[in-house]
Structure formats: C-alpha cells, structure tokens
Amino acid sequence: MRKWISFPKQVGEASKQAHADFPEQAIYEREAGRSGFFGPAAHFHHQHAPTGWQTWEGPLRPRAFNFNELAEPAPESPWSAATLLHNASCQMRIWHCQQAMPFLVRNADGDDLLFVHEGRADLFCDYGHITLEKGDYFVIPRSTMWRIEPLEPVQLLMIEATNGAYQLPEKGLVGNHAIFDPACLDVPDIDAAFKAQYSEEAWQVQVKRHGQVSVISYPYNPLDAIGWHGDLAPVRLNWRDIRPLMSHRYHLPPSAHTTFVAERFVVCTFVPRPIESDPGALKVPFYHNNDDYDEVLFYHEGDFFSRDNIERGMVTFHPAGFTHGPHPKAFKAGREHKKTFTDEVAVMLDTRDALQVGEAATAVENRDYVNSWQEAK
C-alpha cells in the first residue's frame, strides 16, 4: 500500500481557498499538484508572473504548431496520415479526406477517436451508417471496419488509444447525466444508405497492426450485416451536446471538462460557458506546473481567451516540467473582467507519459512561441 505525504499546511500570507481572494500584493497564484489535478497540491502566491521568463535554452519548452500548414497531400488512407504527436499509449494525426474511400480500414492497434474539425461525411462501418458533422466526436472500437464518403471535404483530428480503449469518465457527485447525458450518444444504423452499399464486387480491408498495414481482399463488401445487438458500438457526441460544469465563485480545473478517458491519457473538451462572476474568483486558467502530464490543446473554434495569437487549427504543446498559464493580455483582461462569456471550443489531450513530436509537426512549429509570455515593452 502507498499513500501520498499529504497534510494541509499554511506558511506566510495565503488565500483561504485555491483560485480565489488572493493577497493584494501577490496577485499571481501558481498550483503545484500531482496526478494531474487529482493528487495533493500546494498553491503559491507570487509577486511576479511564474511565466515571466526572459530567455529559454534547451530542448524542454512550450511549443506551438500550425497544423493548417501541413504540407502533405491528402492521402487516401488514414493510416498514411503523418503521426504528429505520439507515445506508447496514443497517437495524434490530422487527416484530410476529400474523396470516397475505395477500401475499408481496420485498426488492430487500439480504439480511434475522430473529431470532425471541418466538413461533413457519411461513415460506413460494421455497425451501419452514420453522418458525421463538423464538431462531432466519433469513437471507433478497436478492429471495427470502416470507411467514409465525404459530402464535403473533411478534416479529422484522430487520436488513437494504442493498445487501449475509450471509456466515459466517472462523474461522481454530479451524477451520470451531468456534462452530457449518455442518451445524447448516437450509434450507426442499418438504414437504407447502409443497405445500398451491399455489394458482390471485390473489396479490400487495410488492417493496421504494430504500425504496419496488411491488406485483406474479399470477393464482396464485408460490410454486409443485416443487424446487431449488444453493448459495444461506435458512438457519436457533438461538442454542442456538452453542458459544462460551472461555478460562478471558483475556476474549475481542466479535469472538470473530461470527455473521454483511456489508458494513460484523457481527452477534455472546452466549450463556451459563462466566466466566473464573483469579484474574488480567478477568471482565467490558473498558472500551474506540468509535473506528471504532457498537455496538448487543439484549437477548433472561437476566441481562445487564455492565449494570444493562437488561431483555429493550431496546437499548443506544454510538456511536463515547467509552469505555464495564461498569456499576459489574457491575464490582464481576466482581472478587468472584460469578458463575461467564453466562446472557445478546444480539444485537450493530457498524457501521463511523455509525447514525442513527429517530423511533420516540427516542420510547422512556431519556434518563437516560448517568448509569447513576455510582456510588450
């Protein structure tokens, strides 16, 4: 049995509670915590912003990538899309699909999570047919056969749970229907569109296992189910179905916005919500140490209120090992309570193990991002 060395203590001048009513002479709060936001934590009150560095040397640094600038041509297969960030538990790709797939794919390495950043498409799989729209998540269980037919060009964020599965988070005190009701989850249907693609012509399936692709040929379309039953299926959730937890007196940690959990990582969704209105409450994300998790944010839509000069389709990557938080303009605007509502939509990937950066991501990196916390002179 193990137990954290954990007991509440206060030294010097400190606020009574985290994220609220800071001492007047130290407006910058920094949280140092373990196990993401679930373990023991200490809250420091600083006279200067914890991100007020002047220079930065060495490989560890905050990074930003503009995935709108990926130079690769749109591959036919999702398995040909470049791996952008990865570790042993997950892989992140961006896949542009502009025409109907002439074959099926199957991932034998783990579950896939698709997020539709742009476009619209019909998806056909073992379980039937479903139409995916911009803003949809779609969870595909491991070894499900599938293909898509774009109704307009689609851009998909793909996060693979390598050798793992996606599950829903425990919602604890707020109950099973909080954040989103499981009744919102849609599944494919054996409908007229699915039946219309039955075929006695030859089809191929590209199966990915251990990162290598094998091709299986059939003299017919293997998507020929006439029905199914059970409690394992792909599911769709649109970010608009998410009703975020809110507190007008307390800035909730990112973990409150968890959408899916997998082995060694979580996926969170930030959606529009009212900003805290209590005069003493923090109104922007708090400065915090990345001590146990790497943090990745994919920016989908809106005005990203804690970041400056970040646009939709971009990604920030804050590896474990340093303190980060809002940019100076965002922190100042939060103190002045200039906005009462956020309109951002972003997908966050938090991984317990260090992520590696792929060559394609490095090619579109903004290497000056590390300096973006410096206040203008």
Q: Which of 96, 251, 257, 327 is catalytic?
A: 251
User: 73-239 in CATH: which number?
Assistant: 2.60.120.10
Is position 300 annotated in a ligand binding site? no
Mean pLDDT of 267-278: 93
360 φ, ψ (degrees, to nearest 5): -65, -35
pLDDT at 2: 83
pLDDT at 72: 66
DSSP 174: G
Share the mean pLDDT of the chain.
Answer: 92
Judge whether 251 counts as a catalytic residue. yes
Domains of the chain: which residue ranges? 28-65+245-371, 73-239
Write down the architecture of domain 28-65+245-371 according to CATH: Sandwich (2.60)
Q: What's the pTM value of the predicted model, to 2 decimals?
A: 0.94
Examine the pLDDT at 309 and tell me if it is beyond 90: no
Q: What span, in angstroms and rounded, lies between the C-alpha atoms of 316 and 298?
A: 7
| pLDDT per position as a tens digit, 130-172 | 999 999 999 999 999 999 999 999 999 999 999 999 999 999 8
| pLDDT per position as a tens digit, 219-267 | 999 999 999 999 999 999 999 999 999 989 988 888 899 999 999 999 9
Examine the pLDDT at 296 and tell me if it is beyond 80: yes
Examine the pLDDT at 377 and tell me if it is beyond 80: no
| pLDDT per position as a tens digit, 176-198 | 999 999 999 999 999 999 999 99
28-65+245-371 shares its CATH topology with 73-239: yes
pLDDT at 182: 94
Lowest pLDDT segment from 199-208, 243-252, 288-297, 324-333: 324-333
Give me the DSSP letters along 38-77: TS-EEEEEESS-TT--S---SS---EEEEGGG--S---SS
* Higher pLDDT among residues 287 and 194, named by residue: 194
| pLDDT per position as a tens digit, 333-361 | 777 777 888 889 999 999 999 999 999 99
Is position 324 annotated in a ligand binding site? yes
Mean pLDDT of 274-281: 88
Is position 288 annotated in a ligand binding site? yes
- Cβ contact 160:209 at 8 Å: no
Question: At 240, which amino acid appears?
Answer: R
Q: What span, in angstroms and rounded, lies between the C-alpha atoms of 331 and 362?
A: 29
